[in-house]
Amino acid sequence: MSSIDLAVIGGTGVYRLAALADVETRHLETPYGAPSGPLRIGRIGDARVAFLARHGEGHALPPHRVNYRANLRALKDTGARRVLALNTVGGITGAYGPRVLACPDQLIDYTWGRESTFWDGEGEPLHVDFGHPYAPAFRQAVLAAARAAGVPVVDGGCYGATQGPRLETNAEIARMRRDGCDLVGMTGMPEAGLARELGLDYACLAIVANWAAGCADAGEITLAEVLDNVAAASAGLPHLVERLARG
């Protein structure tokens, strides 16, 4: 069987990867502590794929408490070279409504106080090139896998990463719209930047669970609505990941 190449990080509502067979569980420690939970490593066709639930399999970790450094380092230590991040988000602009899957190509970081680098004061800091925050070639591979699997995915868009865990105000979303954001989530950073520091090819599939504050007359956002929309938008993910793993 081939070595691990692809890792998938699941967000809110995605706590397992249904396509995985012959699953092995690994509990890892890293120099940055323990990851959010066990790594589930299994087979998709002839490919070995690792899966990690970002918030823990029982969703115990809010976005600002996730140990992003440990998560990425654990995936790197398993041998993964490509990381597909599944992020549950809100939609801001018209093409990014509930139940849409999107593969953004840009990112704005509004988070604060998170461990955003592997540099801990020893040696020279690493200033990585981050002009294109998602690895362009890998992002194209994700889009190609989606087309081959017949899964509709919106190509492009800007992800705005907010601190959380509270949802945003109408005014904050209005500012993000003016800044050029199409999507809003709480886990896109520092994850993408840390992946770049480790030399991992990293791309995001954003699962739109609801309209962001003030973007629709939908009333108060409920958890039941969010989870229903995540389930609907995620229905084609096993086929997409299978195609991606083959490549």
Residue 142 CB coordination number (10 Å): 23
Nearest to 142 by CA among 15, 195, 134: 134
Would you state the structure tokens that stand for residue 234, as one six-digit string? 């995620």
Tell whether residue 186 is among the known ligand binding residues. Answer: yes
What is the distance between the alpha carbons of residues 49 and 22, in angstroms, rounded to a whole number?
11
Q: Give the residue from 204, 201, 202 showing the smallest Cα distance to 183.
A: 204
Q: Is 55 annotated as a binding residue?
A: yes
Sign of CA dihedral 40, 44, 46, 52: negative
112 is in an annotated binding site: no
Provide the token pair at 11. Answer: 């967000």
- Residue 212 is labelled as binding a ligand: yes
32, 109 contact by CB (below 8 A): no
Q: Are 82 and 161 in contact (CB under 8 A)?
A: no
Contact between residue 206 and residue 12 where contact means Cβ atoms under 8 Å apart: no
Annotated binding-site residue? 211: yes
ω before 136 within 30° of 0 (cis)?
no
Residue 210 is assigned to a ligand binding site: yes
Residue 54 annotated as binding site: yes
First to last CA, the chain: 15
What is the residue whose two structure tokens read 């096993």?
238
Binding residues for phosphate: 12, 54-55, 187
Residue stretches of the annotated binding site: 12, 54-55, 186-187, 210-212
Residues in the annotated binding site for substrate: 186, 210-212
